[in-house]
Chain A
Amino acid sequence: MLLRLAERTVILLVSLAVSSLLVFGFMVLLPGDPARVALGVNATEADVATLRREYGLDRPLAAQFLDWVSGLLRFDLGKSYISKAEIAPQIADRLQVSLILVAVSMLVALLIAVPFGTFMAVHHQRPAGLVLSAISQIGVAVPAFLAGILLITVFAVQLGWLPAGGWTPPAYDPRLFLTQLLLPALSLGLVQGAVLTRYVRSAVLDVLREDFLRTARAKGLTPMRALARHGLRNAAVPVVTVLGLQLATLLVGAVVIERVFVIPGLGSLLLDAVGNRDLIVVQDVVMVLVVAVLVTNFVVDLLYLGIDPRLRTGTR
């Protein structure tokens, strides 16, 4: 167990190091000088040189990289090339917003996927299960931002029940916060839920065929109780993996959804920075997102060990 934990931790650390190198390399090696980009096409050579010196862009790449990474570790991300504002506090503010959105969406997805997926598996040969399967297949094909636009069309435009977008901090006006959160969280959650439903269904279907479930039935448990006591824990192993992968999808999906609903999250910060060609902000936000994905994968691996004792000892 400890050995596995150590192994996972080493993998996480190496991945973090390599990906920081990748992100940095990506932004540096691609043609396009951040200083020139920030100043626009009319800048003189002297202006560009001054800005390059100001941001340390004239130093060796290795020094720049080490500077950036040591800054990351202290959560000092430098200043924006354009607005000259400190980047770290901005990212912290925006991250809060995005995390709330992602967490609520994940909850929506789970609330849809677990009951429906289990139902579809138990009734997999009956019309109800089949119809739900077909609906989930269609749900998978709809991008979240399209679901968002359609939800706005119905609930904001046609019915006028909910606001079409915006964001209010929960402390300021909890009611407005919730009404504004509902549609974006639903658009991300519905689509993610459709994907997840398919995995819950296959996982439960596989468990239904296991010998231990037949034994449980033979002991006199009803199908539902057998599934609840013995099945769901076993079905959870593959589902947790997908959940981890989906968290990454959700984080990136949130970037687009924030644009649809005009939410001031990390995605809006990223897209604004791309629009302004503020490359240092882009580099920082991308790195934060990648760290989030890698840490999530790490946590999923740990959960794995918690759920399935078989994985704790050596053999894979």
Chain B
Amino acid sequence: MTSPSWRGPSWRRGAGTSSGFSRLATGLLPAGAHRSRSAVSATIAVGGGIVGLIVAVGLLSLVWTPYDPGAIDPTSRLQISSGAHWLGTDKFGRDVLSLIMAGSRTTLVVGVVAVGVAAIVGVPLGILSAMVPKWWGEVIMRANDLLLAFPALLLAIMLTAVQGQGVVTAMIAIGIASIPSFARVVRSGAIGVMKTEYVLAARAAGRRPWAIALRHVLPNVMNLVIVQASVSFAIAVLAEAALSYLGLGAPPGTASWGRMLQEGQELLFVAPRLEVFPGVAIALAVLGFNLLGDGLRDRYDPRLRDGR
């Protein structure tokens, strides 16, 4: 879901204070803050760092986890943190650290596929709506707005009702629900590009519309797509966690942070820490992608952003 953002004029944004503290703090500021160049870099660095960490953990878990994340060990159930099990064990005696590590893989795969589906449909749709006659563009955008009335979670619940639970169902539902934000963002950028002189020149020279779309429009809206991908990724992480928590996402036996929350809830009175670790992992992932998206948005040319 793209949220409209209100920002000050660009000349205000260059003027930031930069004592050590405020630089760190402005790195965490939402849109609308005026940030110095270094504050923007700090946001990207922190966001990118968190995202990088999660990707690294996910890759590492492919080849190594302290224990087999699926290995049930009745002799070591519900242990607290120790040298053997850094984050303790769950009710089946599974190692929590290994589960968290393997869970990052589920999160990343769901995010990549969902964002991929949304971008593959949404980006061409946005460019198309900017290139066709105005009236048709409006129709496309109205249809697009209508899809916004179906939030990711609702769409996923509906799909699950028919198809049965599964990671694939969840990924596709979240992806479809994210199409409108891509289409909208890309359209606003593409309208600006279509008015530029080089596009006019290309049209005068007789270039075909699809060639203009590929050679001129797409490269110029790529920045917007990358920013939107980061924001949508955060939404996908949240949606996957919620679905798996409800028992509609990752099936039993798949390591997933949302599933861990669900399995831990019945033990809330006994071992609340089982909720804390996956909870922190989810929040950290969302924070990372949000910060990265915010930072990149400020880094890229602000003129394109307001291309309408």
Contacts and interface: CB of A to CB of B under 8 A. Distances in A.
Nearest to A255: B153
B25 A133 contact: yes
A161 to B, nearest CB: 15
B10 to A, nearest CB: 12
A248 B283 CA distance: 22
B105 to A, nearest CB: 19
Given A245-B3, A256-B245, A279-B161, A289 B8 contact: no
B261 to A, nearest CB: 7
Interface string B257-293: 0000100010011001001000100111011001100
B43 to A, nearest CB: 10
Given A142-B283, A209-B12, A203 B1 contact: no
Interface string B7-32: 11100100001000110011011111
Interface stretch (A65-73, A84-92, A269-277): A269-277
Contacts of A150: 275, 279
Given A249-B151, A256-B245, A274-B157, A137 B32 contact: no
Nearest to A14: B142
Contact of A252 (B26, B146, B151, B286): B151
Interface in B238-267: 238, 241-242, 245-246, 248, 261, 265
B163 interface: yes
Majority DSSP secondary structure for residues of B touching A: helix
Interface string A102-143: 000000000000000000000011010011011011101111
Contacts of B282: 142-143, 146
Contacts of A297: 149
Given A130-B29, A274-B248, A27 B158 contact: yes
B283 A141 contact: yes
Interface in A3-17: 11, 15
A293 interface: yes
A260 to B, nearest CB: 8
A145 B245 contact: yes
A182 interface: no
Given A27-B158, A255-B157, A290-B150, A146 B25 contact: no
B287 A141 contact: yes
A282 B17 contact: no
Given A130-B29, A157-B268, A149 B161 contact: no
A28 B154 CA distance: 17
B3 A146 contact: no
Contacts of B245: 145, 256, 259
Contacts of A218: none
A153 interface: yes
Contacts of B265: 149, 260
A274 B33 CA distance: 43
Interface stretch (A166-174, A194-202, A219-227): A194-202
Of B25, B158, B245, most A-chain CB atoms within 10 Å = B158
A152 interface: yes
Contact of B246 (A32, A201, A245, A271): A271
A27 B162 contact: yes
Contact of A209 (B4, B8, B22, B151): B8
Of A15, A137, A282, A290, most B-chain CB atoms within 10 Å = A137
Contact of A11 (B142, B149, B246, B268): B142
A19 B287 CA distance: 33
A238 interface: yes
B270 to A, nearest CB: 9
21 contacts: A18-B146, A22-B150, A27-B161, A30-B163, A37-B162, A127-B22, A133-B28, A137-B290, A141-B284, A141-B287, A142-B286, A143-B242, A145-B261, A146-B241, A149-B265, A150-B275, A198-B31, A206-B7, A238-B6, A259-B246, A271-B157
Interface of B: 1, 3-9, 12, 17, 21-22, 25-26, 28-33, 142-143, 145-146, 149-151, 153-154, 157-163, 234, 238, 241-242, 245-246, 248, 261, 265, 268-269, 272, 275, 279, 282-284, 286-287, 290-291
Given A256-B245, A293-B151, 12 more contacts: A22-B150, A23-B158, A134-B28, A143-B241, A143-B283, A146-B261, A202-B31, A205-B8, A238-B6, A255-B153, A256-B246, A274-B161
